Amino acid sequence: MVHSKTGSLLPVAGPAETPYLFVRGLPSAPHFDPELMKRITLFALTNIAVLVVISIVVRALGLDRWISAHGMSYTGLMVMSMVIGFSGSLFSLLISKWMAIRAYSIELIKTPSNSTEQWLVQTVREQSEKAGIPMPDVGVYDSPEANAFATGRSRKSALVAVSSGLLHQMRQREVEGVLAHEVAHIANGDMVTMTLLQGVLNTFVIFFSRVIGLLVDSFLQGNRRDEEGRSSGTGIGFFIGSLVAQIFLGLLASLVVMAYSRRREFAADAMAARIEGRDAMVGALQRLKMIHEGGGVLDDRSASLAAFKISHNYGNWFASHPPLDDRIRALQQTV
């Protein structure tokens, strides 16, 4: 039975209680989603903008003629970079909900069978209405970590999942803060924004790593030319140079993605405070801090979802979440 907002921890399955009886379910059948079409259009426009930026930079530096002179199609390289850079990110977004359900064996609550399930669904419904978004699916996954995450390709096809460990270790009011945080991620469109950012950075990484590979290969080959005065083709220097450059540029891109992710967490915290109340969000973060300081468990079955959890590794430049103390301080300083 669910206790009062200031009471003890939420009930969970255990020897002395009635086990959860979740209805196993899958995402609803595909249907026309106007919002998804808007997102795809946004992807297309972003692709065009990226190509324009790369084209301006490359032509201003004279790299287009230099690339062609070294036996590689400048236009072909741009198109390849864009396709590879965005296709992986877009595909990951489209199957994110499906993958999350399977990676974490999430039990979707289609028909609540006890008071806790009813409370979870009702809370997310009320918060979604306050945020102005459609009701997302709600599910629970079996894990000792105290965590939750939101995923899905759009606001109309989203999922909020909480761990059994979170229900074990948090009070009801604290869980409400966590749920509001995840609803805020959906309302802010963070999943799509992260995908766009990753796709843009992937395109730049792939394109400029190949350019660097050509520079390395050109240096190693010297001035060897064919009878028409063109480069004799790429050698091992191109592949090694491209690989090393892609790893290095990829790390730099990760810094940008993680910096945005940390900033996005502050925004989700602030919106959650408006939806559910600052006390709920602050209480949730304080409880998470206590759990982490006590040696809390981290469940990384799907690393791609780490940035969408309420809490993950933090405290360095490659962290997806800012330190809990900073998040708590930011909320407490909010008027």
- Between CA 126 and CA 18, with CA 143 as vertex, the angle to 5 degrees is 70
Please tell me which residue, 238 or 230, carries the higher pLDDT value: 238
pTM more than 0.85 = no
Mark residue 229 as left, alpha or beta (left: phi above 0; alpha: psi -120 to 50; beta: remaining).
left
> What pLDDT shows up at residue 21?
32
β pairing state of 137-141 and 158-163: parallel
> What pLDDT shows up at residue 125?
96
113 burial type by CB count under 10 A (0-12 exposed, 13-18 middle, 19+ buried) = middle
> What's the mean pLDDT in 116-132?
95
Instruction: Find, among 268, 270, 284, the residue nearest to 321 by Cα.
Output: 268
Reply yes or no on whether the pLDDT at 25 is more than 90.
no
* First-to-final CA distance of the chain: 35
Instruction: Find, among 212, 207, 205, the residue nearest to 77 by Cα.
Output: 207
User: What's the per-residue H, E or C state across 169-222?
Assistant: HCEHHHHHHHHHHHHHHHHCCHHHHHHHHHHHHHHHHHHHHHHHHHHHHHHHHC
> What's the mean pLDDT in 119-128?
96
Reply yes or no on whether the pLDDT at 237 is more than 50.
yes
Q: Are 265 and 308 in contact (CB under 8 A)?
A: no
Please give the share of the chain, as a percent, with pLDDT higher than 90. Answer: 41
CA dihedral 143, 149, 152, 156 (to 10 degrees): 120
Reply yes or no on whether the pLDDT at 29 is more than 50.
no
Q: Are 184 and 124 in contact (CB under 8 A)?
A: no
* pLDDT band at residue 205 using 50, 70 and 90 as cut-offs: very high
What are the distances in angstroms from CA 88 to CA 77, 84, 85, 173? 17, 7, 7, 38
Known active-site residue 174 = no
pLDDT digits 0-9 by tens, 39-90: 667 766 776 787 788 788 888 888 888 888 777 888 888 888 888 888 888 8
Residue for token pair 């660097």: 212
Where along the chain do its domains lie? Answer: 33-222+232-335
Q: Are 180 and 195 in contact (CB under 8 A)?
A: no
177 burial type by CB count under 10 A (0-12 exposed, 13-18 middle, 19+ buried) = buried
* Interacting residues of 214 by C-beta distance below 8 A, sequence separation 6+: 67, 70, 72, 234, 238, 241
Out of 174, 182, 265, 276, which one is annotated catalytic?
182
DSSP H stretches of helix in the chain: 34-61, 63-69, 74-94, 96-103, 115-131, 164-169, 172-187, 190-221, 236-276, 278-293, 324-332
